[in-house]
Amino acid sequence: GENVEQHPSTLSVQEGDSAVIKCTYSDSASNYFPWYKQELGKGPQLIIDIRSNVGEKKDQRIAVTLNKTAKHFSLHITETQPEDSAVYFCAAHRSYQLTFGKGTKLSVIP
Amino acid sequence: ETGVTQTPRHLVMGMTNKKSLKCEQHLGHNAMYWYKQSAKKPLELMFVYNFKEQTENNSVPSRFSPECPNSSHLFLHLHTLQPEDSALYLCASSQGTGGQPQHFGDGTRLSIL
């Protein structure tokens, strides 16, 4: 089955700096890659996604890049703000199955 | 404000009890999901319902029994649970039926004594 590795497990950045979270996947048939943000006491929230026919997607301060050849994808957050502090999950999807990474706890220091 | 509502938010039960978790979505979505979230582990898919028909059972023990009476409501019936079943149980929904959850509820925190 699919295996998704996510790094780092924790990340601290100063407010205003950029944050990058990286994921790798094992199954080349995976074709959809969402990212979720989970705040304390809340459920995961879909924040951005990318499909395998696209290399990059941007939505305001967040962007996702996909390298199909290397089987890795990344989340980029620019101009980080304290409200960006949360746990972020990547996932890879194929054949009705969505496999999640273990998550990255992002802390933005004011 | 989430379009997926889960009740109760917290539940403590003994191993011999029977309880049910409830999920309701107000988004008109066609698919609903149960996930288990444990510390230090990735989210685990438990069950999927598309148009209120179960399409996925991810090798979940029979002490967990799902029910989907209509496309807006989903239940998880619990009986004779084990301590390792303590976790956050998340419900999700999606417009499409391809196994890509779009909206999650805030979960039920379950503790087994």
DSSP summary character for residue A39: -
Q: What is the pLDDT of residue B1?
A: 47
Look at residue B81 and tell me whether its pLDDT is greater than 80.
yes
Q: Average pLDDT of B46-56?
A: 88
- Ranges assigned E (strand) in chain A: 4-7, 10-14, 19-25, 32-38, 45-51, 56-59, 62-67, 72-77, 86-94, 97-100, 104-109
Contacting B with CB below 8 Å, chain A residues are 4, 32, 34, 36, 41-46, 89, 93, 95-103
Q: What is the pLDDT of residue B2?
A: 55
CA distance A9 to chain B (A): 10
CA distance B18 to chain A (A): 25
CA-nearest of B48, B25, B28, B51 to B106 is B25
CA-nearest of B5, B41, B48, B7 to B26 is B5
Q: Which residues of B31-48 are buried (b: 16+ CB within 10 A; e: fewer)?
A: bbbbbbbeeeebbbbbbb
Look at residue B51 and tell me whether its pLDDT is greater than 80.
yes
Q: Average pLDDT of A54-74?
A: 96
Q: What is the pLDDT of residue A40?
A: 95
What does the pLDDT look like over A21-40, one tens digit per residue?
Answer: 999 999 999 999 999 999 99
Mean pLDDT of chain B: 93
CA distance B5 to chain A (A): 10
When scoring B5, B93, B104 by the number of chain A Cβ atoms within 10 A, the one with the most, hence best to mutate, is B104
Q: Where residue B45 falls among pLDDT bands split at 50, 70, 90?
A: very high
Picking from A4, A98, A99, the nearest residue to B101 by CB comes out as: A98
User: B13 or B55: which carries more pLDDT confidence?
Assistant: B13
Q: Average pLDDT of A43-53?
A: 95
